[in-house]
Structure 1
Amino acid sequence: MQQSAVPELAHTHTRPIHWVATATAVAGVIALSSVVQPGSATAAQPAPGTEAESAPAAAVAPPGTAGVAFPLSCGPVKALVVKKATGDLDGDGIPETVAVVHCDAPMGTPPDGVYVLTRGRNGGAARVVATLVDPKDRVTVTEFALHEGAVSATLLGYSSSDVPSCCPDLKTPAKWRWNGSAFLRSTGTVAHSV
């Protein structure tokens, strides 16, 4: 038998350290491939002379209620936002905020107002664009929600001016939906006594 002209190399014999090094390298490749992912592929290419659509813009935050001048006369006390909900009421993809607001009176039950807020032009400060319930109507809003583009609430009110402000005697469900030019109010059933 003829001897090889090349001396034996140390790496031709496997040892446990070689298996540990190989396993570590494979684990590193697998870990790196789980972090770095290729972009999604599409089968269709844009037609010549057109540009591919860009990714959708980041979600727009709904308008906040801080600093909004609500059309509510509170005298020396502040207007207090007691409930709010957000959602896209007019179908334009930009969320609005609906706020239930009343004066922060030290006693009694002040009437509620329900206002729709939207962002100002070019992302400016929020502003009131609609009044769903005017505080002059002397109602308290309960069971307030925004679902599938509609605002719903239960309104507690008074059958006459003789009923004390502490004790509303009418309960009316109401729902508002945008019709393209205004919010239309509908009631589920006729008001009934509390």
Structure 2
Amino acid sequence: MQSSAVPELAHTHTRPIHWVATATAVAGVVALSGLLQPGAATAAQTPDPQTPRTKSAPAHIAPPDPADVEFPIDCGPGRAVVKKEAAGDLDGDGRPETVAVVHCDASMGTPPDGMYVLSGTAGAGAPRVVATLVDPGDRTNVDDFAVRDGEITAALLGYSSSDLPSCCPDVRESLKWHWDNGVFVRSTPFGARSV
């Protein structure tokens, strides 16, 4: 075996003091990095003029709760059940409205739906029905229901004849509602009705 030409150096052997010094240095770096955090981001995004503006209510205003509403639907001895609900600012006033699809609780069959717009704020008492978009007397069911960008869209399942049983709708119609001059205007996209 050939001996090294370089004499053995004392600092090449680790001793407990080396481990203590390394641990102290790492702890110091971690503590210092915790103190030197970047400030909060303050940049504001400029809206893109090409992006369509959406109507949405501020996050701090809760939409009306359908559980607090008496719906104009006659269920006899039964009760009204909220099948679906969605919220959004439909009239552009900065406060959310709730759209609720409601039907009578039935143990059998397919009860017809009603679709209602609810409005109200926490300080103004209980929410109330401000518009009926689909009347349960029309004998239809609401499907594919959504509230987006200030518009309500839904597909209505109905019947081509009063002789058909309520289990088997044979007509599907896509509809859209939007707020215009104080009322909800209903429109049917081209080719939206099928049998």
RMSD of aligned C-alpha atoms? 2.4
CA distance, structure 1, for counterparts of residue 59 and residue 188 of structure 2: 36
- Stretches of 4+ aligned residues off by more than 6 angstroms: none
TM-score scaled by length of structure 2: 0.72
The TM-score with structure 1 as length reference comes to 0.72
Structure 2 matches for 1:32-111, cutoff 5 A?
Answer: 32-34=35-37, 38=39, 59-111=60-112
After the TM superposition, which residues 95-174 of structure 1 pair with which residues of structure 2 at under 5 Å, given as runs?
Answer: 95-120=96-121, 122=123, 124-174=125-175
State the one-letter code of the partner of 2:126.
A
Q: Distance in 1 between matches of 2:188 and 2:59?
A: 36
Is this contact kept in 2: 1:109–1:166, CA < 8 A?
yes
> How far off its partner does 1:38 sit?
4.3
Deviation at 1:149, TM superposition (A): 1.4
**Identity percentage of aligned residues:** 52
Encode CA deviations 1:32-57: one digit per residue, 9 max, x unaligned.
Answer: 444xx645668xxxxxxxxxxxxxx7
- Asked if structure 1 preserves the Cα contact closer than 8 Å seen for 2:143 and 2:155, the reply is yes
Query: Do 1:90 and 1:180's aligned partners in 2 also have CA atoms closer than 8 Å?
Result: no
Q: Aligned pair count?
A: 163
Unaligned runs of 5+ in 2: 1-16, 44-57
Aligned 1:3-18 pairs, distance under 5 A: 16=18, 17=20
* Aligned residue in 2 for 1:25: 28
When residues 134 and 21 of structure 1 are mapped into structure 2, their CA distance, relative to the original with a 3 A threshold, is same
Distance change (3 Å), C-alpha of 1:20 and 1:116:
same
Find the counterpart in structure 2 of residue 7 from structure 1: none
Preserved CA contact (<8 Å) 2:139 2:158: yes
